[in-house]
Each structure stands twice: as C-alpha cells, then as structure tokens.
Structure 1
C-alpha cells in the first residue's frame, strides 16, 4: 500500500482540508517541550472528530529530545502506549508506525545504537514498525536490524546546485534489503534566522519545478516506495509549508506574511492519486499553477542577517505547471518577458525568466480564442527587495 503523509497539524479544519487533497495522515513531529504533549492529544482528538480514515503517527525529534540514559526512553514509550489503541493511530504492516528526525547518536544507556533503540521501542511494547531518519551512511543499514525501514529526509531537495534526482532513493532502497522505504517530497526550502535567534540562514535549490519533478520520480518508482512524506504542512520557519498560514510562528513572519502556499495543495491531489493508484487522474478542466521568488537572487537588501547561504543556486524564474484538457497555446508574460508555447493535453511544465519589475500572467488560447487568463493579485517581481526573502509566492487558478 502506498501512503502520502504530512507533518504536524492539530486543527480539525486542517485535517479535513488535507484529506480532501488526497493526504492520508499527518506525522506529529514531537520534541522535548512540555507543551507538546497537550498538542499531540489535540491532534488525535481533531483526527477522531473527522472520522477514522485520517491517520497519525509520531516522529520523535531527537535533535531536541534527550537520549543518553534509559529514563529518556520512557517519554518515547509513553507516547507509543498512550495512542496504541487510538482509532486514528497509523498501523503499518500490523504494527504502530514510528519515525524520527535524527537519533543516530542515541544510545539510551546501552552500548550501541541498535541496542539502545531496541530497548526503547522494541522491548515490552506492542509491535512497532520503526522507520527512522538516521543521518548515517546507508551502507550501514545492514547492521541496524532495529530499523524496519528508513526515512530519507534529505531526499526531498537537491543537496547541491543541481537538479533533483533519485540517487538517494536508489541508495536507500538497495541497502534496506526489502524493508520499508519512506521517501521525502518537498516544494521549497528557505530559512532566514540570524545569530541572535536560531542561526539558520540558507536555501536548498527549489528550481526546475522541484515539487512536480520530485513527485514524478516517486510515481515512476512507486513499487519500491512504501510511504511518501511531504515536508511539510506547517513548518513556516523553513518555508516548505503547503497548508494555511495560521497559529503561532517561530519568528518567521518576515518571509511568510503574504506568501501563501496552498496553491501547491491541488498539485498534491493530482500527484498523490498517481502515487497511490499508478494512474494520474483525468483532467476535467484547465488549471494553472505558478510560483517563484519575488526578488532577484543577486540583489542586495537592507537586511542585517545577510544573504542566505547558497543564494546563487537559484534563478530568477517563474515556474509554471499547466493541466490541460486538450492541446493549447500557453503564453507566459511578465513585463517585457514573454514566452509562447504550444502545449499538449495533460500536465506540462513551463518557465519564464524575469528581467525587470513586472506582474506575472498566464494565458491559454485555443484556435486564437482566450480560454483562460490567470494574473494573481500581488504576483509581482521587484528588483529592489526590502529584505532577503527567498520564499516562494505560490498561486493556482480556480
């Protein structure tokens, strides 16, 4: 069974929206903060209000949670036992699914990584299907029999200045020996915290229709992928959210305010259907999806934090995906920049480089007659940025 999974959300309306868009569940990214236990309870309650079809599971954030002695493991075990019988707890291969972010340095007082995690999640508990994201050489997977699979967190983005590929997927699958592979897919990555806060200021390369190209890899290779995890629903600090901007933010308002990403949700709906069934859904109406940064990568800004690391990895370009019921001529326009292409029916990917201040517009013509025009409000490129904002502005036609 192929599943599409996302990260933490606790509002009933978000769960209803996610399920409507073809998402099967949320991963609850659980750290060490005391308030998180109550938020996890809220999430399970919200899921149950929506019915039993939407599932949840834990991902223990071991960059936050202590793991040096057996007592530290009790917190993880309590999460497992508290929700083991909950109707919305995700079971995978007849066991409770659990994951991590990191944890490769955890021993919980034992002599080895393998023994420490086995004592914590495999001893004295109901069956747990453990699929962590350990940042280790996949060649070592053979010696980690505590893992029932592995999640490749960094497979969602290129780890350098190159187009996304599936090399990480192939390496993980080849070293897992038939165990569960959980692949990542993500639309973007930008974080801009100064040294006085979280000290994270960098991008991963999101060019060349990253979200679409990554999904197409997963659909093509779906036979070797057990779960696709979309990073993320509401991680505003790293700019890869696809859900509504709501609730408290981790000081990320400077680059998220006005940068709604829900236009990507309908692409999730399209691609997740292909991933789960092996066939893309029939296109019943023309659609346009468009995204880009709104400021030049090379421009300077009055911003004390400075340009993000890897800023030169990205081009000043409008990325467009069109879904067409029949062949059409598609025109992309932004000021003096214009591109016109004859496009077949189905899904196509188009791009347009920016040169000056301009407003983006996409038009679809058939037989010389305008069939659709999409010019989202505020989708404008400006040469002089007020700050270093490498977040994406995303829009989708109705």
Structure 2
C-alpha cells in the first residue's frame, strides 16, 4: 500500500508538471533539413538544449503538396531517433498555410503519422495527450473546424488522444487591432481546439516592441472557455522577407529593433505567463528570424540548405549571439531566479545599410521600413562595474554603464556620413578598471548604398566567447 501511494503521488506530480510546465520550443523548418543526417540532428538538438530549448516544433508541408516532398517524413523519422538519444522532444507542427497544393493534408495520413510516433519517448505530451500544433488551418478552405474535429476523433478512438493547439493566424493578426473580438471569434469558430498558439510575435502596424496585450487576452479567453490545452506564446528576434517578385506582400520588415529583449523580459517580469514559449525560429532563413548557426555552404554539408534568392540577404548574416540572450532569459523564466553573470559579453546587432539607401537589387519598397531605426543595438552582461563604449564614424564614444546586477542596454545611431562606397565598421569596447578589457569591430560594414536591399541584421559578440581580447 505504501509503495502504491508513492506511485500515485508521483504520477499526480508528473501530470501537474505536464500541465504547468515552463517549456520552450523552437520552431524548426523541416523544408530546410533535406541534407540532415542522424549526427546533424543530434548536433542541432544539443545546441538547442544548451540554451534551454526542450523541443523542436517540426513545421512540414503536405508531402504531396508540390512535387515530391515525401522525404520530409524520412527526416522526421531521423529526428525522433536522434531526440530519443539526447533526451529531447518533438512536436508536430503541420503547415496548413499552403493554398495551392496538388494534395492537401488529410486526417487519415496525419493520424497515421501521429500514431507512428505515439510510443516514442521523444513525443511531447500535454496532460498525457500528444501535443499537436499547426501553422494555419483557418484560411485554406480544405481545412477548418470540421477538419480538426475529424483529426481529434480519429486520434481519440485510436487510443492516442491529442491536445490540439493550432496557430490560427488570421485571429492572431486581427488581435493586434482588437484582441477581445479576435479571441471571442476564434473560440466560437473553432470550439474544437484545446489550446492556442499565438504566432504573432511581431507588431504589424506600429513600432510597439512588447506586443503582449494580445497574449494576455487570448490566454484569459481560453481559460474562461474551459480549455485544457496549453497557451503557447511566440517570441522572435526579427522578421524580414523579400522574395523580390513584384508583390508588395512578399517584401516586409517587422519593427523589431528591441523586440527580442522586450518580449523575453515580459516573461521574466511576470507581465505574461504562458504555459509554453516557442522561439521563432531555429532555422527559417526566408524570414530572417533564425537562431541557429548559418548552414554549410557546400552541397556535401549535412546542414546544407539551397536558399536560392534568399542567399542575397542571408549569406554572412550571423545570428548566433542571440542564443546568449535566449539562454539567459530562458533560464530565468524556467527557474524564477535571475541567473548569476559569470562572463563579460556584449551582443550587438545592426542592419548593414541605412533604411533609405539606394540599392541595385531587391524590392523597390519594403513595407514597414520607415518604422525601423538606423542604429546599432547592444545588450550587455558583465561580471563587474563596466563601461561599454560604442563608436561608428563621426558618432564616437556612445557609452552606457553596466554591472553585475543584470542586463544593460545601449544604442548608437548611424551618422549622416557612412564613409562613401566602402562604408564603415562599428567599434565596441568593454572598459573595466580603467582599461580596455575587450575590443571588437562589427563583422560587416554599414553603407549608404547596397547591391541588394537587406533588412536582415548581422549579430555580433565581443567579450568571452568571441576572439576579441582588449588591450590596456
């Protein structure tokens, strides 16, 4: 009897943990994993785990949507095997946004895929049910509430019930103007859902970098409706896309200069309390919001990605130092305790040309380009009293103070003169005890002109973990 009671208590604790977990997903674009092998999956998962990510949400297209995309299921099979080995989780995120498919998703195939991995220890569960997310499902006529109800029914009667938590993007967008109305309409139109994933991490209409009002309204509405699934909040460092196809809707930048910091701080400050956060994204090169290292250039690389037109604004635009910020805030959010600062590091990001630069290629107009600031943005963690010094051309010694009490931030505007055709590199230094502890320059020059219009930032690091050591 004693051991049985302990077992029941442990099971109850496990169920409570599953329903209140402060877990972190990273949205993973399977379309960019064609070259992945078992070792590459493990490398990506270990890299994600090192910054506090618990699972990849695997975004994949209908296998017969356009040509032969059946290889996606093979990559996902490989991912499950790798995840089992490294103690990582996988969540299916069915991409239901494609409106021009030869064959769309069907519930029989989706149920078969979910049941195939139901027994895997890498399958992420919510309240013992398999968690299923989507991108879309509310805009393409082949899907909708009845489609979701059929999927849930198939999985229930198979003995592998799901917690359906889709990203219904039309409601997320509407919520930026009227969140209460959007939440009401969504629950009325999609009563079948268990949870909700609010995809809209970025402001759409103005430069408001926090954007948590909609999260609070959606989460409250779902609770009032008695929904048992998780509320997933999206967090993203950036968004820029330019397909250069003459369609204004395919060329935009989100006003996101401080967005990443502000969204993450709203979590640790308790302004918003989602069940799960989802980082957008791990590897979406197309929309410039990747946290992963850039893919290999060689076609023989196990992480090679054929980016085509995207190469013009992704090549050399490293975002890896943003993972330092991610790790810091994720640990804080998960533990409820501000992490101790043990290294001196300054992460800084900037665009490589002025927003009104004359460019030879790229779309003639980038939506929202007037809402971004021509500046360099810096976020610092230091172990002791420090002065972070920033210079760019005629704008010299823009300094801000930092100490070991927590992150400090500063920025420096682009000068009017960006150095002609050659441009100029920003310079950074961490000053401690009257000496330069670390010094570094930006990896790319900032120019007043450009060969291709590019609103994708480059993200750099000085301090420990970089190769830039200062001098006295």
| Structure-1-length-normalised TM-score | 0.91
- Aligned partner (choices 149, 166, 169) of residue 118 of structure 1: 149
**How much does 1:163 deviate?**
2.2
Contact 2:96 2:105 in 1 (8 A): no
**How much does 1:239 deviate?**
0.5
Indicate the residue corresponding to 1:335 in structure 2.
393
Contact 1:67 1:108 in 2 (8 A): no
How many residue pairs align between the two structures?
390
Give the unaligned 5+ runs of structure 2.
1-20, 63-68, 172-181, 296-303, 466-472
Asked if 1:348 is matched to 2:390, the reply is no
- Aligned partner (choices 102, 124, 133) of residue 99 of structure 1: 133
Contact 1:55 1:90 in 2 (8 A): yes
Contact 2:216 2:272 in 1 (8 A): no
Does the residue aligned with 2:238 lie in a helix, a strand or coil? coil
- Aligned partner (choices 56, 79, 82) of residue 46 of structure 1: 82
Does the residue aligned with 1:26 lie in a helix, a strand or coil? strand
Indicate the residue corresponding to 1:149 in structure 2.
195
Does the residue aligned with 1:182 lie in a helix, a strand or coil? strand
- Aligned partner (choices 155, 158, 161) of residue 206 of structure 2: 161
**How much does 1:37 deviate?**
1.4
- Aligned partner (choices 188, 201, 210) of residue 259 of structure 2: 210
Give the unaligned 5+ runs of structure 1.
none
Return the alpha-carbon distance in structure 1 between the equivalents of residues 325 and 232 of structure 2: 20
Indicate the larger mover: 268-277 or 247-256: 247-256
Asked if 1:176 is matched to 2:225, the reply is no
Indicate the residue corresponding to 1:386 in structure 2.
451
Deviations along 1:201-223, one digit per CA (max 9) or x if unpaired, are 1111111x221111111222377
- Aligned partner (choices 285, 293, 316) of residue 374 of structure 2: 316
Indicate the larger mover: 339-348 or 328-337: 339-348
Return the alpha-carbon distance in structure 1 between the equivalents of residues 104 and 251 of structure 2: 35
Return the alpha-carbon distance in structure 2 between the equivalents of residues 65 and 284 of structure 1: 49
Asked if 1:220 is matched to 2:306, the reply is no
What does 1:227-246 align with in structure 2 at a 5 Å threshold? 227-246=276-295
Pair 304,224 (structure 1): closer, same or farther in 2 beyond 3 Å: closer
Contact 1:31 1:65 in 2 (8 A): no
Return the alpha-carbon distance in structure 2 between the equivalents of residues 44 and 196 of structure 1: 40
| Structure-2-length-normalised TM-score | 0.77
- Aligned partner (choices 185, 188, 191) of residue 140 of structure 1: 185
Contact 1:317 1:352 in 2 (8 A): yes
Indicate the residue corresponding to 1:14 in structure 2.
44
Return the alpha-carbon distance in structure 2 between the equivalents of residues 382 and 105 of structure 1: 41
Higher radius of gyration, 1 or 2 = 2
Does the residue aligned with 2:331 lie in a helix, a strand or coil? helix
Return the alpha-carbon distance in structure 2 between the equivalents of residues 34 and 250 of structure 1: 20
Return the alpha-carbon distance in structure 1 between the equivalents of residues 459 and 103 of structure 2: 45
Asked if 1:371 is matched to 2:437, the reply is yes
Contact 1:141 1:175 in 2 (8 A): no
Return the alpha-carbon distance in structure 1 between the equivalents of residues 121 and 55 of structure 2: 13
